[in-house]
Structure 1
Amino acid sequence: MNFRSLEEFWSFYVTQHSKPSTRRWHFVGTLTSILLLLYSFVFNLWFLFFVPLVGYGFAWMFGLMLTGQMDREIKRLGKRPILQGF
């Protein structure tokens, strides 16, 4: 998707996040990232690697599952040139 302005992107973003369940999973991902960040500073800095994976993973995975676009997104990712070698 190519957005020409912030207004185009914002209207698309708001429609994609209109379901309460999508917002709920974004909150869970953000909260988990913050807790994992605090845990990594207190116990082990290697856990910093997982902070963006967990935070974005919750939002991305459950967002796609709740909107029913999982199959389409997997097909789209498979068409990217960087992933064709795998």
Structure 2
Amino acid sequence: MARVATYAEFWPFYLREHGRAKTRALHYAGTALTFAFAAIAVLNGGWWWLAIPIAGYGFAWVAHFRVERNRPATFTHPLWSLVSDYRMFFLWLGGRLDRHLRAAGVDPNRA
């Protein structure tokens, strides 16, 4: 990937790197678990704080290495990637992600 200067340039790249529905599904599972583990950590403290990044990155990295067969954007743009993980999750949850995928040249139904 060529270096991008702005988040507006990064977002379509990020979506193309998540072109398969299975990749996005694994991201959604990991992102949802980050909320669950954060709630448990707030209520109980302890080691649960460590589960948050493990769940989020664990599911995402499995998706990239096993499904998408690409390198996670986290390695080159960690902050933008983290923001985009949650942005993609909430757009999907609200039923508004397909428009963004299509604008980035991604077929939302690609398996």
Shorter chain as denominator, the TM-score bin is 0.5 to 0.7
What is the Cα deviation at residue 8 of structure 1?
A: 3.4
Gaps of 5+ in 1: 78-86
What is the Cα deviation at residue 61 of structure 1?
A: 2.4
What is the Cα deviation at residue 7 of structure 1?
A: 4.1
Aligned residue identity for 1:48: W
TM-score, normalised relative to structure 2:
0.53
The match for 1:41 is: 42
What is the Cα deviation at residue 26 of structure 1?
A: 0.8
Contact kept in structure 1, 2:19 and 2:68, CA below 8 Å: no
Counterpart CA distance in 2 for 1:18 and 1:46 is 34
Contact kept in structure 2, 1:25 and 1:59, CA below 8 Å: yes
How many percent of aligned residue pairs carry the same amino acid? 28
The match for 2:67 is: 66
Counterpart CA distance in 2 for 1:30 and 1:38 is 13
Aligned residue identity for 1:61: V
The match for 2:24 is: 23
Bigger Rg over Cα: 1
Contact kept in structure 1, 2:30 and 2:60, CA below 8 Å: yes
Counterpart CA distance in 1 for 2:65 and 2:21 is 14
Identify which of structures 1 and 2 has the higher relative contact order when contacts are C-alpha pairs closer than 8 Å and 6+ apart. 2
RMSD of Structure 2 on Structure 1 (CA): 2.1
What is the Cα deviation at residue 25 of structure 1?
A: 0.6
Q: Counting helix residues as a fraction of each chain, which structure ranks higher?
A: 1
